[in-house]
Structure 1
Amino acid sequence: MLSRKTKYGLKALIYIAKQDKSAPVLISEISDKEKISKKFLESILLDLKKNGILGSKMGKGGGYYLLKDSKEIKVASVIRVLEGPIAMLPCVSINFYERCEDCPSEETCALNKLMIQVRDNALVILENKTLFDLANT
């Protein structure tokens, strides 16, 4: 299940992607239109900025803007920034792998094999959907 942070981050990015590209979007505008707490949204947008998805401009005419074209921002990348691993178990994560302490053998673990299939099928969708796709549905 996606956390509220990730859900709100995606909603904010979709909102920004739908706006005029020539002007940054105010955090208060996103907060009002998407019904997200401004304080919580500030934290989310800062994480997205630190990870190279958003840029910001201070002062009059300031706000947040996408650093890349929305067609280049994959949903999987945003989820990894805000949520962490996409895999449901650490032993099947591609980017955040950790061995399960209670598992005697990943090679014979039926749960591991199932979760690899779940991860792979989820990745097919998440790696092939972009912010552009979400903003234009």
Structure 2
Amino acid sequence: MQRDGAGGIGGGAEIALANRIPKKFLDTILLELKNAGMVRSKKGPGGGYRLAGRPKDIHVGHIIRALDGPLAPINCASKSAYLPCEDCPDLEACAVRITMTKVRDAASDILDRMTLDEMIMYGRVRDPDLMYHI
């Protein structure tokens, strides 16, 4: 997303145009982020959208959960939206559930540690995995 000079990310139409996405789609995303407390909006002249916090304090896992729901690939592996499979004879021994729980945990480990600031940096640096912080 493009940032304006005042630290905001601009109005919906500006953001949609700059990122080549439909405004209606963007409006839905911005409303969900606003409802999750990650984005603030201001109407009128000089208005637009801005992050509710610093990018280094916003975690990517929180953003994804706000927009897409639980990280688990299937409901029986979810912590927040758990639903058992109707045809599963043994939930505790189910190899699919155990595997998908490991997938959920791995995704959560990465996304809950990564900040929006780091994600932005990945888009700007040619090979971010070679960056070292001492």
1:22 CA displacement:
3.8
The answer as to whether partners of 2:70 and 2:80 remain within 8 angstroms in 1 is yes
1:126 maps to amino acid: L
Structure 1 counterpart of 2:44, which letter?
G
Question: Identity, % of aligned pairs?
Answer: 41
Aligned position for 1:30: 15
Question: 1 CA distance for matches of 2:60 and 2:35?
Answer: 17
Report the number of matched residues: 122
> How high is the TM-score relative to the length of structure 1?
0.82
Larger relative CO (CA 8 A, sep 6+): 1 or 2? 1
Which residue of the partner structure matches residue 70 of structure 1? 55
Shift of residue 50, structure 1, vs aligned partner: 1.1
Separation in 2, partners of 1:106, 1:121: 21
Mind listing any 5+ residue stretches in structure 1 that lack a counterpart?
A: 1-14
Q: Is the 8 A contact 1:23 1:61 kept in 2?
A: no
Given that 1:24 and 1:56 are in contact with CA atoms closer than 8 Å, whether structure 2 keeps it comes out as: no
Q: Please state how far the C-alpha of 1:21 moved relative to its aligned partner.
A: 4.8
RMSD of aligned C-alpha atoms?
A: 1.5
Q: In the alignment, what sits opposite 1:6?
A: none
Structure 2 stretches lacking a partner, 5+ long = 123-134
Following superposition, which runs of at least 4 residues in structure 1 exceed 6 angstroms of deviation?
Answer: none
1:11 matched to which residue of 2? none
TM-score of the superposed pair, with normalisation by structure 2: 0.84
Aligned residue among 67, 87, 91 for 1:106? 91
